[in-house]
Structure 1
């Protein structure tokens, strides 16, 4: 089934609900989701999705309505995702790390008809957070709500893992249990009427330079991503995939679409990423595939007793510095397919992938692979906007058949994101050399030091090459400096806890191997894990603050 779908380009012609229903019908008894020891077959999963679809229809949700979620990576929200799309509505996951500023700014723009939220997660109370974000929120009983600032909002539904009930809020389990009869004919009609070009997803950008923008996806961008990822991974219908990501992140949605929609493979869910339980699950269940940010891989590898576990992952996608591939290769069994990638929300999100059959270790280690078929990449000078010579670093710009459909309610921002040649300006720094992309960080991670543009990502990569026998890992930040503009500072975790040499000796060792302006002014010793966000990304703001504090003491 998987290979036939790839050969037919089903990602281009079909919708997510159409492919999902076809998968469930073809594999009714196969395990679809495994969560906390409970297995749900594809047939049972489709039945649950149909029931929640009917619950949405009973609330008055219609084609084009927005269903906003504050989701945990659990079966309830997986079912809700497919049910929302099946009735032709638009799903909009919001980041659980946000505060009142982000929620109060984004919710009025996205205009949800219903919000489905966790009550408690990671020590936070999300019902209280919504009340603080929407101070005019009024409760009218049985989950019916209203808000002058979000006039579209009609209903508030809550998922409680502990079985709590909250006054004025509709409980998810009670809501679904109240469905008396599923109108299968109507649901099938809505599913069959869907088109690949229908808007089905509002994906929030990272918001690193301001309030998160709301990117609109039709069915093609996320299906193209899983289609080409499956090809690059040599994915089979026998894989077992563990999801390490939150469902408000692209990579969590990727796990749903790759396994439950396109491939018909078993998906293992965890309520939150915890390295030791994840490693136990990989060992016990013989997990074969996953996606991870750099910190996910480091977290798994640094679990005490890792060597005594069976690490059975043989199909791995990774996001991070190119050298992360060395770490992942050391963890996986011989012959594992390990692909690094470059992705961005606006391209749904995959832009490039390394190739599993590339035998050049240097290319695999130092680049993020080739652009997907049809994606055109150029590099433009970050100051002039002119194209730079091949191999020179600048802003990554691209034209693509998998692009988003604009930012909701922000036509000016959508228009300004493209230049006169029709290239989308990514805001990312990198180079494009002999057909391969190397992502060197956000432009915010490019610091101006002594008048030169310095990629902190590239500095870390070069230091790991220069000091391969002494440095286990490196993270580099820019610290404001009156003389240099930005002082380049590298935080170093040494091998076996060895003492870090002084700055002068380390700088001397870098001469002739790195550009003079790339050599850090300071090296700081770091012990233990890097600080990370719940998505598994390195928290560079925390590292920068720590480095500033350390330097202020000297």
Structure 2
């Protein structure tokens, strides 16, 4: 069934991920599914590799309801693991490569995986040692392992790009080899037995308010994101997509599902995001689509020789600030489809998305689109919990036909996330005005200054509007202050040829446009790129440290 027919029949709602993937492989066996380091992997070959790995997992005793945790790189091996885990009926659980031992020690006993599949090294981190430190009572008996802390654990598997072997870890290629005698009938039966309401995804929240929670999905949350994302991008089978996100992030899983599960298009992978490498891939293969955070787009634009590449991206999904909309529009060919979004892990993750045919420039730039079909959104007061007047800010709350199914083994946290009306409380600050969501930051990014709630995202957006000619970019944070509670601090990167000027003069220029309590008390000059996390998001912890240092603040 072609993509347009899948749209028409809402196959995302009535099918499983593994069933749709198998259909795509059967329909176009010779088409490139993945291109990685100049290797083209046709759908037939990818499907065979998934079946072979599935058989290997069955040989380890992995079956329905078991958890397979992965510390993945965005490579073909982990794409195969994703589909193979689902195909045998198990639950895929991507874990964040940025975590330290304390995070793994908190999450692994709760998730209780049967198998953990990991890279051995990424950057300068040793994940073999990290896992061993995170499971201090780990016992190794041949290829099997055991742990009192993680009682379900039976195997550790390592995917080493350098071909290294590690004690206590089964080699990924060996696991693949064990599945060489796979039988198609086995997987046809398993796919027939699967249901779209089966829980097969355990996705970690960002952990901004403490230890990461493990959100449970059936097939509808991730497939809804792929379905509505494809529709709003006017996606086609002929499109080609470059993945710039890690596979432990939901945006990386979006690339897998959009291309390999739903559309049957070609997915370009890179082991790590490197702007110049990405530009070469886009130019050589005439890639048409991608998703990116602010830092991805700025990295591409700032790469040496950007203007010399044929930048063919004409379908882009953004998770960033209004400034990013104009930046991406200028980078892409004229008439490109550029859609802002608002997303959360708990809704699989897409909540709202801009519309490609919206003709209002300000709506496209400054809002995060309309809720997906069936998603009900209200804004509730931070103090009273009641609904606010339309257009006023508060906590974004929603009900959805493809909401997560709760936090695994965290019944109380799940219960507290919903109110008596059945709305999920997102922990995000924003507005819902005339049908459009505007995300204004996490509630942790809402400062209480002088008794008023102030969104750091809103302050940044207003500064960039007021000083369009002088400010190249800005980021706003809050630092502790005995008088104000929180003092608003703006880092500003001036445009070439402009001096930042004094804080007093800048504040004076803001008066009458911004509320008095929104105007930053301090403006600090920033030169060069913003600090970013390996995920590609702005590293606000480093900005906070820099502000405290410059302002002479001590903990």
- TM category, shorter: over 0.9
- Kindly report the root-mean-square deviation, in angstroms, between the aligned alpha carbons of the 2 structures: 1.0
Aligned to 1:399: 399
Write out per-residue CA displacement over residues 514-536 of structure 1, whole angstroms, 9 at most, x where no aligned residue.
11111111111101111111111
Trace 1:187-266 onto structure 2 (pairs within 5 A). Answer: 187-266=187-266
Per the TM alignment, residue 103 of structure 1 is displaced from its structure 2 partner at its CA by 0.5
SS, match of residue 496 in structure 2:
helix
Write out per-residue CA displacement over residues 30-89 of structure 1, whole angstroms, 9 at most, x where no aligned residue.
000000111100011000000000000111111111111011111100000000000111
Write out per-residue CA displacement over residues 329-374 of structure 1, whole angstroms, 9 at most, x where no aligned residue.
0100001000000000000000001111111101111100100011
Trace 1:281-292 onto structure 2 (pairs within 5 A). Answer: 281-292=281-292
Matches of 1:47 and 1:346, distance apart in 2:
32
Task: Verify: 1:500 aligned to 2:500, yes or no.
Answer: yes
Write out per-residue CA displacement over residues 367-403 of structure 1, whole angstroms, 9 at most, x where no aligned residue.
0010001111111111111111001001000111110
Matches of 1:480 and 1:397, distance apart in 2:
29
Per the TM alignment, residue 309 of structure 1 is displaced from its structure 2 partner at its CA by 1.3
Matches of 1:259 and 1:178, distance apart in 2:
28
Change (3 A) 1:60 1:477: same
Aligned to 2:140: 139
SS, match of residue 127 in structure 1:
helix
Trace 1:86-105 onto structure 2 (pairs within 5 A). Answer: 86-105=87-106
Change (3 A) 1:104 1:497: farther
| Kept after mapping to 1: 8 A contact 2:55/2:178 | no
Per the TM alignment, residue 274 of structure 1 is displaced from its structure 2 partner at its CA by 1.1
SS, match of residue 496 in structure 1:
coil
Alignment length, in residue pairs? 553
Aligned to 1:455: 455
Aligned to 2:340: 340
| Kept after mapping to 1: 8 A contact 2:54/2:179 | no
Per the TM alignment, residue 289 of structure 1 is displaced from its structure 2 partner at its CA by 0.2
Write out per-residue CA displacement over residues 399-431 of structure 1, whole angstroms, 9 at most, x where no aligned residue.
111100000001111011000111100000000
Write out per-residue CA displacement over residues 195-237 of structure 1, whole angstroms, 9 at most, x where no aligned residue.
0000010000001111100000000000011100001001111
Aligned to 2:294: 294
Matches of 2:44 and 2:255, distance apart in 1:
19
SS, match of residue 131 in structure 1:
helix
| Kept after mapping to 2: 8 A contact 1:473/1:492 | yes
SS, match of residue 166 in structure 2:
coil
Matches of 1:147 and 1:260, distance apart in 2:
36
Matches of 1:130 and 1:160, distance apart in 2:
15
Q: Which 4+ stretches in 1 moved above 4 angstroms?
A: none
Write out per-residue CA displacement over residues 141-176 of structure 1, whole angstroms, 9 at most, x where no aligned residue.
12x100011110000110000000112211001121
- Structure 1: unaligned runs, 5 residues or longer: none
Matches of 1:426 and 1:180, distance apart in 2:
45
SS, match of residue 323 in structure 1:
helix
Per the TM alignment, residue 553 of structure 1 is displaced from its structure 2 partner at its CA by 8.2
SS, match of residue 55 in structure 2:
helix
| Kept after mapping to 2: 8 A contact 1:322/1:368 | no
SS, match of residue 46 in structure 1:
helix
Task: Verify: 1:408 aligned to 2:408, yes or no.
Answer: yes
- Structure 2: unaligned runs, 5 residues or longer: none
Aligned to 2:536: 536
Aligned to 1:115: 116
Aligned to 1:61: 62
Per the TM alignment, residue 447 of structure 1 is displaced from its structure 2 partner at its CA by 0.5
Task: Verify: 1:482 aligned to 2:482, yes or no.
Answer: yes
Per the TM alignment, residue 323 of structure 1 is displaced from its structure 2 partner at its CA by 2.8
Higher mean displacement: 292-301 or 436-445 = 292-301
Tell me the TM-score normalised to structure 1 length: 0.99
Trace 1:425-464 onto structure 2 (pairs within 5 A). Answer: 425-464=425-464
Aligned to 1:171: 171
Matches of 2:153 and 2:549, distance apart in 1:
45
Aligned to 1:520: 520
Matches of 1:553 and 1:147, distance apart in 2:
45
| Kept after mapping to 2: 8 A contact 1:141/1:169 | no
Per the TM alignment, residue 488 of structure 1 is displaced from its structure 2 partner at its CA by 0.5
